[in-house]
């Protein structure tokens, strides 16, 4: 009767797969952030650069997910629009006035949404998936 030795490398394989998955999600997040920032710039929504500079990503390794977003308070107005342009309707239908930081008064009916975050992923979905696949392939033993 032959003697066989079984060596279990499943822990190492799982760790390598987790490392590859994290690297892929991180790269995809970085690329989506780049697209979101480009969307802000191309829409002409750069004043101080605070919105564009606030866009970032977080890899949630335990969820096998990456989140792209911003903590800028005014981001939602650029993403979803305001007033008569509010995505999905329901925005204020009458004009309003506001004073800017320089003391100048302006009248507006709202701003159009640019969906800089949504489009950063949706418009580049195939590219992001391909990038993730390439990163995972690079991590093969």
Q: Which pLDDT belongs to residue 140?
A: 77
Q: Could you give the CA distance from residue 45 to residue 30 in angstroms, rounded to a whole number? A: 21
How far is Cα 108 from Cα 126, in angstroms, rounded to an integer? 38
**Average pLDDT along the chain:** 95
Are residues 120 and 95 in contact, defined by beta-carbon separation less than 8 angstroms?
no
Residue 1 has a pLDDT of 67
Distance CA 140, CA 134 (A): 10
pTM above 0.75, yes or no: yes
Instruction: Please say if the pLDDT value at position 92 is more than 70.
Output: yes
What mean pLDDT comes out for the span 78-82?
98
- How high is the pLDDT of residue 141? 66
Give the pLDDT confidence score for residue 2 in this predicted structure: 78
Which tokens go with 82?
A: 């305001």
Report whether pLDDT(86) > 70.
yes
Q: pLDDT tens digits, residue range 12-46?
A: 989 999 999 999 999 999 999 999 999 999 999 99
Segment 38-56 shows an average pLDDT of 96
**Structure-derived torsion over alpha carbons of residues 116, 121, 122, 123, reported in degrees to the nearest 10:** 80
Residue 19: per-residue pLDDT: 94
């Amino acid at each position: 009767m032959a003697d066989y030795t079984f060596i279990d490398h499943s822990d190492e394989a799982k760790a390598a797969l987790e490392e590859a998955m994290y690297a892929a999600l991180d790269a995809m997040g970085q690329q989506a952030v780049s697209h979101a920032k480009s969307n802000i710039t191309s829409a002409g929504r750069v004043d101080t650069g605070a919105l564009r500079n606030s866009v970032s990503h977080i890899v949630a390794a335990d969820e096998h997910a990456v989140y792209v977003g911003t903590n800028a308070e005014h981001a939602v107005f650029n993403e979803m629009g305001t007033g008569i342009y509010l995505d999905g309707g329901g925005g204020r239908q009458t004009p309003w006035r506001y004073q800017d930081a320089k003391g100048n008064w302006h009248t507006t009916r709202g701003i159009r949404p640019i969906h800089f975050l949504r489009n950063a992923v949706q418009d580049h979905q195939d590219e992001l998936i391909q990038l993730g696949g390439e990163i995972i392939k690079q991590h093969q033993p």
